[in-house]
Amino acid sequence: MKPLNDIPLSPSFRLAEFACPCCKTVKIQPELLQKLQQLRDGWGEPVIITSGYRCFDHNAEVGGVEGSDHTRGRAADIAVAAVWQPKVIALAQTVGFGKILPYPRRNFIHLAL
């Protein structure tokens, strides 16, 4: 049997990549997926999601702010080496993400609608 949520959502992303790590629950706004795919196509490199949907408990566990966009299917963190972040941020702006928070020391970028 295939793993839970192992279902393609777009050319580059699968549902499981957005699922909460503790309970495998998943919520995703279609526009988030659409923008991530546009970013991936513009960048030309695989986009690794390090945090997608978070249930209430998981969000608290990782120290996310209450009502975080991750708990509403409106945000994803993607792995990007610090050196590539300026390029990916510029692309994310072009694609139209509403919130772009770079974490260069931790090699990821938070992207939200």
Distance, CA of 27 to chain centre: 12
Beta carbon of residue 103, minimum distance to Zn ion (angstroms, whole number): 9
Which of 28, 35, 39, 77 touches Zn ion (CB under 5 A)? Answer: 77
CA distance to 3, 19, 38, 59, 109, per residue, from 71 (Å): 22, 11, 22, 7, 17
In contact, 14 and 5? CB cutoff 8 Å: yes
**Single residue of 18, 19, 36, 58 touching Zn ion by CB under 5 A:** 58
Site string for Zn ion, 13-52 (x = CB under 5 A): -------x-xx-----------------------------
Q: How many residues bind Zn ion (CB under 5 A)?
A: 7
Inter-residue contact 76 to 108 (CB < 8 Å): no
- Residue numbers at the binding site for Zn ion (CB under 5 A): 20, 22-23, 55, 58, 77, 110
